[in-house]
Amino acid sequence: MRAAFIKSLIEMAREDESIFLLVGDVGYRLVEPFAREFPERFVNIGIAEQNMVGIAAGLALSGKTVFLYSIANFPTVRCVEQIRNDVCYHKANVKIVTAGGGLIYGALGPTHHLTEDVALMRALPNMTVIAPGDPLEAGLVTQAAALLSGPCYLRLGRTGDPQVHHVTPDFQIGRAIKLRDGRDITLIASGGILPNVCRAAENLAGQHIEALVLSMHTVKPVDKEAVLDAARDTGAIVTIEEHSVLGGLGSAVAEVIAESGLGVPFLRMGLPDEFISQVGSRDYLRNIYSLSTDGIVSSVKKFLKQKKR
């Protein structure tokens, strides 16, 4: 996803001289092409992320479109006050981009696990929150974010993320993408867990369970229409995210369902409300928390069995 992000940003910057990129002393072997082509619009702020947000806000209030980039928690959790007061309060045209969403930096422990960010960003007024599901979505959302007026949070994965889409989808901020039709259950995913969800749906189909799959790349504003249509069509909803079950995609979808009065069975899959004390690779940690393909299949089958009782 990171490579798709920087490629799209460079393409946009060639057409729009207002686009700036700020980094927090990270992104080597990724951001150099932008820095070489647009040296006057690239600034390495150093390991001073709170300052980076303030500088980004100042540039944005001077008419610039500013992307700031760093890894994991550092441009989000570390900078909530600056994002709230400097960016969101002023509706500044700042795009906060993180790499390493969820458990990508699993071996580095809780300080590098990015598992509360969507909840934090969702709660901030004027903030749009987007977690693309594959590199193609990452490129499309970068283009869309550059054209969007106001604050935006982009939660990226890493270089080498699997591609889910085989053709370019109709991408719009706030509109889910349907990847698979189904009648038995709806699986709604955001972010880098999407490939596992698609593989799980294929596995379920082999067991005569047809799952409708939605890529809910935009968590705020969430696509209410897509959620309600899916609830009516399948009668059951499961959300899957590599994020705490509190405040993220699951909460956004639950709010839509609760307020609709439909009363369909609903399951949130994600990370528990605790620090992840285990240390290991992303796949290792996903397996522990039932976010592997097999874990998703098992949880969905159990949920459907309970639904029929």
d(CA 130, CA 248): 11
Distances (CA, A) of 147 to 12, 49, 55, 141: 9, 24, 20, 10
How would residue 309 be classed by pLDDT, with cut points 50, 70 and 90? low
Q: For residue range 201-221, list pLDDT tens digits in order.
A: 999 999 999 999 999 999 999
pLDDT of amino acid 82: 98
Among 17-26, 123-132, 184-193, 272-281, the least confident range = 272-281
- 2-155 and 177-308 agree in CATH topology: yes
Can you tell me the mean pLDDT for 7-29?
94
How would residue 18 be classed by pLDDT, with cut points 50, 70 and 90? very high
Look up the CATH number of domain 177-308: 3.40.50.920
Amino acid at 300: V
Can you tell me the mean pLDDT for 55-70?
97
Alpha-helix residue ranges (DSSP H) falling in the chain: 2-15, 32-37, 49-60, 80-82, 117-122, 135-147, 194-205, 224-234, 249-260, 282-288, 293-308
pTM greater than 0.85 (yes/no): yes
The domain locations on the chain are 2-155, 177-308
Q: For residue range 167-176, list pLDDT tens digits in order.
A: 999 999 999 9
| Sign for the pseudo-dihedral over CA of 114, 118, 121, 124 | negative
How would residue 128 be classed by pLDDT, with cut points 50, 70 and 90? very high
Instruction: Quote the DSSP letter at residue 63.
Output: T
Cis, bond preceding 221 (omega within 30 deg of 0): yes
Q: For residue range 69-112, list pLDDT tens digits in order.
A: 999 899 999 999 999 999 999 999 999 999 999 999 989 999 89
Q: Are 109 and 68 in contact (CB under 8 A)?
A: no
How would residue 159 be classed by pLDDT, with cut points 50, 70 and 90? confident
5: nearest Cα among 115, 114, 146: 146
CATH topology assigned to domain 2-155: Rossmann fold (3.40.50)
Q: Quick check: 178 pLDDT over 70?
A: yes
Q: For residue range 221-235, list pLDDT tens digits in order.
A: 999 999 999 999 999
Q: Quick check: 282 pLDDT over 90?
A: yes
Q: Average per-residue pLDDT in the chain? A: 95
Amino acid at 91: K
Can you tell me the mean pLDDT for 64-72?
95
